[in-house]
Amino acid sequence: MSLVVGVGLRAGTPFAELQDLVTTALRELAGDVQLVVTITGKEHDPALQELVAQLGAELRTFSNEELAQQQVPTPSERVDQLKGTSSVAEAAVLATGAHLVIPKRRTPNTTIAIGVQRAAGYDLRDREVVQRVIAERRDVRRGFLDVPVDDVTLGRVLEAAHRAPSVGLSQPWDFLVIRDLATRRKVHDLATAQRDAFAASLPEDRRAAFDGLKIEAILDTPLNLAVTCDPGRGGRHVLGRHADPRTTTFSAAIAIQNLWLAARAEGIGVGWVSFFEPGEIAAILDLPAHIELVGYLCVGYVDEFAPAPELVRSGWAKRRPLSWAIHHEEWGRRDTSIVDDARQATQNAVPAGGQRVRVVVGGHVDLQEADVLAVDLGAERPPADFGVLWRPARTPVEAVEFGVEIARDLALQGVGQLVVQLAENSERAEALARGLQVGASACGLTHSSA
Ligand X SMILES: Cc1cc2nc3c(=O)[nH]c(=O)nc-3n(C[C@H](O)[C@H](O)[C@H](O)COP(=O)(O)O)c2cc1C
Contact between 205 and 294 (Cβ < 8 Å): no
Contact between 34 and 116 (Cβ < 8 Å): no
Pick between residue 293 and residue 360 the one whose CB is nearest to ligand X: 293
Pick between residue 138 and residue 408 the one whose CB is nearest to ligand X: 138
Pick between residue 186 and residue 447 the one whose CB is nearest to ligand X: 186
In the chain, what is the straight-line distance between the N-terminal and C-terminal CA atoms, in Å? 64
Shortest approach of ligand X to residue 162 CB, angstroms? 19
CB-count exposure of residue 329 (10 Å: 0-12, 13-18, 19+) = exposed
For the chain, the C-alpha Rg in angstroms (whole number) is: 31
Shortest approach of ligand X to residue 273 CB, angstroms? 4
x-or-dash string of contact with ligand X, 129-148, rule CB under 6 A: ---------xx-x-------
Pick between residue 309 and residue 353 the one whose CB is nearest to ligand X: 309
Pick between residue 223 and residue 306 the one whose CB is nearest to ligand X: 306
Pick between residue 75 and residue 309 the one whose CB is nearest to ligand X: 309
What letter does residue 144 receive in the DSSP assignment?
B
Please report whether residue 109 would count as binding ligand X according to CB under 6 A.
no
Shortest approach of ligand X to residue 269 CB, angstroms? 10
> Which of positions 202-221 make contact with ligand X (CB under 6 A)?
215-216
* Residues that contact ligand X, how many (by CB under 6 A): 11
Near ligand X by CB under 6 A, which window of 38-46, 98-106, 271-279, 374-382?
Answer: 271-279
Pick between residue 59 and residue 311 the one whose CB is nearest to ligand X: 311
Shortest approach of ligand X to residue 295 CB, angstroms? 6
45: left (phi over 0), alpha (psi -120 to 50) or beta: beta
What are the residues facing 87 on neighbouring strands? Answer: none
Burial profile 342-372: b = 16 or more Cβ within 10 angstroms, e = fewer: beebeeeeeebebbbbbbbbbbebeeeeebb
When CB distances to ligand X are compared, the closest residue is 309
Could you tell me the CA-to-CA distances from 115 to 3, 109, 118, 361 in Å, in that order?
6, 21, 9, 56
The alpha carbon torsion through 330, 335, 336, 342 (nearest 10 deg) reads -80
x-or-dash string of contact with ligand X, 306-325, rule CB under 6 A: ---x-x--------------
Shortest approach of ligand X to residue 139 CB, angstroms? 3
Binder of ligand X out of 144, 272, 301, 402 (CB under 6 A): 272
411: Cβ–Cβ under 8 A, 6 or more apart, which residues? 318, 352, 439, 440, 443, 444, 445
Euclidean distance between CA atoms 91 and 111, whole angstroms: 12
Binder of ligand X out of 107, 117, 274, 346 (CB under 6 A): 274
Residues forming contacts to ligand X in the complex (CB under 6 A) are 138-139, 141, 215-216, 272-275, 309, 311
